[in-house]
Amino acid sequence: METTLFYGGEWHPPAEEAWFTVVDPATGRPIGRTALAGAADVDRAVDAARAAQRHWVAIGADARARILHAAADRVAERADAIARLLTLEQGKPVGDSRKEIDFGVEVIHYYAEEARRVGGTIRPSASSEVRNLVSHHPVGIVAGIVPWNYPVDLYCWKVGPALAAGCPAIIKPPHETPFAIAEVVRCFDEAGLPPGVLANLPGRGPEAGAALAAHPGIAMISATASIAAGQEIARRAAGNLKRLSLELGGHAPFIVLPDADVEAAAKAALRRSFSNMGQICIAVNRILVHRDVHRRFADALAAQTDAIVLGHGLEDGVAYGPVLNASVIERTQAHLDDAVAKGGRLLTGGQRPRLDGLEDGFFYRPTLVDEAPLDSLPMTSESFGPIAAMRAFDTIEEMLAIANGLEFGLAAYLYTEDLERGWAIADALECGMVGVNVNDTSDLQAPFGGTKLSGLGRELGTEGLMAYLEPKLIRMRRRAIGA
């Protein structure tokens, strides 16, 4: 397989003939290559977007909605084929790939309609002769940076609202997982998207990402990335004071109170810890369990973790696949070694399995560490791999001090049967999203994002659309009747 760069309504080879070999994580074997964009390609994409910008705004929200709906329908028709591509390049089981694509389709349809409902207001004025008219307008050309862990999903989170709002979009998809996104781009092109309105520029962050962040022709950048990458984007974007939407690293605590349903909590923690092999920004890193139920919970979660079966994501019935590459395994092993060296106790996992026919794949057993010291790596740094660390707490105050004690503030999970106390604890947790007796904080109708170093701005919900719109005030003096 091969994919190139898309801008100006056409596919182009890279300006500097740079390519990246894409590997199937389950086998370790190459499956194709992608072109890598550089600064010159970014310039060309911005020029094409400028040429298309006025027309894309002028056709109005209804016309834009028809194109977005047509694109989403095409993605839905090809969802099985795109899901297979996604599994081949990223590793997640094909059922999870299909869910990701289906949700991306919902996102595009949702924002196609939401943009049709954006209205204005007439605001009060200190003068009876003046009226304040407030309307909303596209911010301009926007850039998006998409990660490899949920590439199609997060691509749609950015492209859907940006295009619906009237903003041409230049996206840097992950060079590690470019093929499924390329098929989504073809769906937009076939749906009648005007040339220049959408660009797709796979590239390594240090050049393509830096060029997008610093480009004076780009008015806004939306990135899902690590904290370090987000900080660098913000520094480069300061040159023309770009609007920023940054969803950065997470380190979610999973909190179990003594009155919780232990079996249900363990099942929820398992899925949120090891779905997509822990390669999720809202994955559970640290599990805080009240001492009264600590042993029951640890035994239940260890048994469930030990029962996980790994395999190639294209095989029937496989629910857990490989990690993306060797660097994820190295980081996971380093976090485990640090926790054990400091006094943590390995309950299960902690090694690379040997799978027949997949000996060169990037597989690592889901790993659970108990009694993890507070200064150990899995308790302080985002693992972004198949490891979860656990420890007991005695008081709510102690638990909150641990949960709020890091620079991360994306998501948290709380399991309790006492909803009054649960609400109070949820309010006290310093993060953008809290799941109370649910292990997922993403919902199409609600804002997704974090606080502290986990980012700024929100995606999804109406907030995800308004991020791409600027309010504009027109103060108008009215003429008195008979004047």
CA 288/CA 60 separation, integer angstroms = 50
Band (16; pLDDT cuts 50, 70, 90): confident
* The pLDDT of residue 15: 78
Q: Does residue 51 have a pLDDT over 90?
A: yes
Band (419; pLDDT cuts 50, 70, 90): very high
CA 332/CA 386 separation, integer angstroms = 7
* The pLDDT of residue 347: 98
CA 11/CA 285 separation, integer angstroms = 41
Q: List CB contacts of 462: < 8 A, sequence separation 6 or more.
A: 114
Band (205; pLDDT cuts 50, 70, 90): low
Active-site hit among 247, 382, 431, 459: 247
User: Is 187 an annotated catalytic residue?
Assistant: no
Active-site hit among 183, 281, 382, 431: 281
User: Is 247 an annotated catalytic residue?
Assistant: yes
Q: List CB contacts of 1: < 8 A, sequence separation 6 or more.
A: 22, 31, 32, 33, 85, 179
* The pLDDT of residue 483: 60
pLDDT, tens digit, 9 for 90 and up, residues 361-411: 999 999 999 999 999 999 999 999 999 999 999 999 999 999 999 999 999
What pTM value is reported for the model? 0.96
Q: What percent of the chain has pLDDT over 70?
A: 99
Q: Mean pLDDT of all residues in the chain?
A: 97
* The pLDDT of residue 292: 98
* The pLDDT of residue 406: 97
Characterize the bridge pairing of strands 367-370 and 469-477. Answer: unpaired
CA 349/CA 341 separation, integer angstroms = 16
* The pLDDT of residue 188: 98
The CA–CA distances, whole Å, from 268 to 197, 413, 416, 435 equal: 41, 10, 13, 11
Residue 370's beta-bridge partner residues? 345
Q: What is the CA radius of gyration of the chain?
A: 24
pLDDT, tens digit, 9 for 90 and up, residues 310-365: 999 999 999 999 999 999 999 999 999 999 999 999 999 999 999 999 999 999 99
pLDDT, tens digit, 9 for 90 and up, residues 168-198: 999 999 999 999 999 999 999 999 999 999 9
pLDDT, tens digit, 9 for 90 and up, residues 53-105: 999 999 999 999 999 999 999 999 999 999 999 999 999 999 999 999 999 99
